[in-house]
Amino acid sequence: MAGPVAPAAPAAPWKRHIVRQLRQRDRTQKALFLELVPAYNRLLEKAEVLAQFSEKLQPELNNVTPTTHQGPWEEASEPDLDQVSSLATLRMKWQEEEERLRLVCGEMAYQVVVKRAALEALESELEERQSSLAAHGARVAQLEETRVQLAGQVGERLVLNAAQRTAYDTLRAHAVLHEAALRRLEEEAHHLLKQLVQVKARAAAQCNLRIERRERAKQVQVSQELKKAAKKTVNISESPDTLGSVVRHGAETPALVAELVYLESEACEKKWKRPFRSASATSLTLSRCVDVVKGLLDFKKRRGHSIGGVPEPRYQSIPVCVVARLPTQAQDVLDVHLSEVNAVHFGPNSNLLATGGADRFIHLWTIVGGRLEASQTLEGAGGSITSVDFDPSGSQVLAATYNKAAQLWKVGEAQSKETLSGHSDKVTAAKFKLTRHQAVTGSRDRTVKEWDLGRAYCSRTINVLSYCNDVVCGDHVIISGHNDQKIRFWDSRGPHCTQVIPVQGRVTSLNLSHDQLHLLSCSRDDTLKVIDLRVSNIRQVFRADGFKCGSDWTKAVFSPDRSYALAGSSDGTLYIWDVDTGKLESSLRGPHCTAVNAVAWCYSGSHVVSVDQGRKAVLWH
């Protein structure tokens, strides 16, 4: 006999899971066949009973069958015939019952097959749902773990946010205190600056008064000495040498000059021993002395004696054209750039022309014999050129670019001399001011900046509500045109906007007449407007059938004599209006096949140049 069986090791979890699955399957299948199996057993029992009954009836039928063929004497056996008929009836009933039971068995068998197929389908569905349930359980566990982690992170973030909020409140309180202190300091600085300016002004006034008195005294003394010198006889041949030696040796005072003239006249009188005075010699010597004295006085003025210092020198004025000639035909057509040409401007000598385009180059051209000839290419721009301008001396070129800066070139040098960086968006306009080493730029970052070109330093930033498309500069005013359909005026000596003139449409360009009395604006409502700056009112509005402003940087200009206004249309046509009458003077069609971006009229009034979006520049005469 075998020994005692060792206790079995605990079953693995997967085995227990399989046992549970089998038991569940057994219960499910057993419930389906609980009614079917007993019915089937009852049918089998009935079939066996009927089979036994049929087996008993079969020999009896065989024994009764021969008696049916006896002779006419069969009358005595009537009870046997009744028995045979009852047996036949029973047999028929048995056959019918057997047939019915066979049909019932077939139906039961069909139901068993159907139930088995349904059971298999349910089992497969059960397995799928159990696997899905297991996957969802794993997903739920994973999500629960993630939820716990996120809840921990939320708690940490709440603690961190509370700490940061506390720090923010502290910093805000400090900032408020510092702002209050800054405002107090600014007010004190403004007050001190105002006092300093007043003190300087009083000191300058007193110093100027003393200088004026001293100069008046010197002039009185010089006039007296000149009168004395005019009474003496002067040797004409020797006086120029003597007077020239005085000037060469740096005689700076008119009193010394008069004394030398007096001594020279005495020497001449002794030499010639003439008892009379020569009128011609005296007048000649007097005029020469006056010239020398004036030169010395001018030299002293140039050296400067004012406590305020010498004011910043201005450029010499550009000659203004008296009568401009209307262009009638195209003289020269060139592809001046590799892509779209955005800007064109004439130099003050009317022969030098600058063009700037999207290819980041500035080309300088000269007009020779009615043709444009390439002179120089200025390189180093960081982006597309949007505006070009010459200084009044014609020695420097300033350009606005799309790389958030303006750049300065010296004519004759290919590389950029200075870069004026400080804007945060595209620079759309860059213009020289009338004083030396100063410029103004406008940008789409909604600012206008003034620059000290000597140090490449932004001396002032003007914040505007809309981005700037163009700027122009007068003596003490900066005018800017903006995308919000307004023209703003800024005093270069003050911090605030002095005037705003609304126009219909976004301003694309501004042009100031040479006398600084009229302003020409071009806007996207397809009109040009002339503004009289003396009354700050729109004087003329120019329209024309077919004229369309092609872009936000379309430029329009006055003629040099301010008699005409010129602009290019989106269809390549140039339109010229009479400023005084407001009528369309002429329209020029021809070489341009795309929108004209900019036009320029030379200072002599003899040539016009237009550039378009198709790389062309056209010289009109």
Q: How far is CA 506 from the centre of its chain?
A: 16
- Report the pLDDT averaged over residues 302-324: 49
Structure tokens at 485: 């359909």
Of 528, 536, 431, 444, the closest CA to residue 489 belongs to: 536
**Interval 314-341: pLDDT, tens:** 444 455 566 788 999 999 999 999 999 9
* pLDDT value for 52: 79
Percent of the chain scored above 90 by pLDDT?
46
pLDDT bracket for residue 110 (50, 70, 90)? confident
**Interval 393-434: pLDDT, tens:** 889 999 999 999 999 999 999 898 889 999 999 999 999 998
Strands 468-473 and 457-463, how do they pair? Answer: unpaired
**Interval 61-87: pLDDT, tens:** 555 444 444 444 344 445 456 666 777
- Report the pLDDT averaged over residues 445-471: 91
Record the pTM. Answer: 0.52
- Out of 41-55, 489-503, 504-518, least confident range: 41-55
- Report the pLDDT averaged over residues 518-530: 96
* pLDDT value for 203: 84
Gap between the Cα atoms of 207 and 194, Å rounded: 20
**Interval 153-172: pLDDT, tens:** 999 999 999 999 999 999 99
Burial 172-204 (b: 16+ CB within 10 A, else e): eeeeeeeeeeeeeeeeeeeeeeeeeeeeeeeee
Task: Report whether pLDDT(525) > 90.
Answer: yes
Is the separation of the CB atoms in 455 and 429 below 8 Å? no
Task: Report whether pLDDT(302) > 70.
Answer: no
DSSP 571-604: TS-EEEEETTT--EEEEE-SS--S-EEEEEE-TT
* pLDDT value for 353: 95
* pLDDT value for 259: 46
- Report the pLDDT averaged over residues 561-571: 95
Dihedral sign for Cα atoms in the order 544, 546, 552, 557: negative
Strands 468-473 and 574-578, how do they pair? Answer: unpaired
* pLDDT value for 65: 47
**Interval 580-618: pLDDT, tens:** 999 999 999 989 999 999 999 998 899 999 999 999 999
**Interval 198-248: pLDDT, tens:** 888 888 788 878 888 888 888 888 888 888 877 766 554 444 444 444 444
* pLDDT value for 215: 83
In this structure, which amino acid lies at residue 516? Answer: Q
- Report the pLDDT averaged over residues 476-492: 92
* pLDDT value for 434: 81
- Report the pLDDT averaged over residues 167-189: 91
Residue 55: Cβ-neighbour burial (10 angstroms; 0-12, 13-18, 19+): exposed
* pLDDT value for 296: 46
* pLDDT value for 233: 61
- Report the pLDDT averaged over residues 436-459: 90
- Report the pLDDT averaged over residues 246-262: 43
Task: Report whether pLDDT(380) > 50.
Answer: yes
Element (H, E) at 382: none
pLDDT bracket for residue 31 (50, 70, 90)? confident
pLDDT bracket for residue 29 (50, 70, 90)? confident
* pLDDT value for 601: 95
Q: What is the mean pLDDT of the chain?
A: 81
Task: Report whether pLDDT(294) > 80.
Answer: no
- Report the pLDDT averaged over residues 129-139: 91
